[in-house]
Amino acid sequence: MDPRISKLVDIMKTLPGVEEPMDADSNLWHHYRLVRCKCCKKDFPAEEFNIINTGYVKAYDQACKECRKSAKDTCPIVCVRCKAVMLRLEPYKDEDGFEFIRNRAYHVDACPDCEKELGSAMVVEKKIFIKEKYK
Ligand SMILES: [Zn+2]
Ligand SMILES: [Zn+2]
């Protein structure tokens, strides 16, 4: 090996390990104090976003003002672990007779963001409903 190269290799070995790169969201926040809307994927200042109080948790709403407007009358589904709105559902009644009522928040114990292996999450309110129904 060229001695210059072996010298270089020695220097490189003494360098501290490279830090894990930040993910896109943290990067955005770190440099621009912007938050990416989960719905339209556009970036907005943090003040544009809401905290919603479900009565059980205070959850960070990751939808921007515009998206919240167009999602008016839907049901925010809040991940209790992330303390964030993970999705919104149109109000409806499912085959079990459980009803998602407009503008009411529902909770899940975990979501695909915090639980990678998660298959499907049933909302806590529905779990209780099923328990009551079949007891
Ligand atoms: Zn948006
Ligand atoms: Zn979660």
What is the 122 CA–ligand 2 centroid distance (Å)?
Answer: 13
| Cα–ligand 2 centroid distance for 111 (angstroms) | 4
Token duo for residue 55: 């009565």
Question: Tens-digit pLDDT profile for the chain (135 aa)?
Answer: 677 777 777 777 777 666 677 777 888 777 778 999 988 999 999 889 999 999 999 999 999 999 999 999 999 999 999 999 999 999 999 999 999 999 999 999 999 889 888 777 789 999 999 999 988
- Structure tokens given for 116: 């990678």
* Cβ–Cβ < 8 Å for 80, 114: no
Q: How many CB atoms lie within 10 A of CB 101?
A: 11
Could you give the 3-state DSSP secondary structure of residue 48?
helix
pTM (2 d.p.):
0.74
| Ligand that comes closest to the CA of residue 50 | 1
Report which bound ligand comes closest to the CA of 111: 2
The two tokens of residue 135 are 């007891």
Report the separation in Å between the CA atom of 115 and the middle of ligand 2, taken as the mean of its atom positions: 7
The ligand that comes nearest to the alpha carbon of residue 66 is: 1
Distance CA 55, CA 133 (A): 24
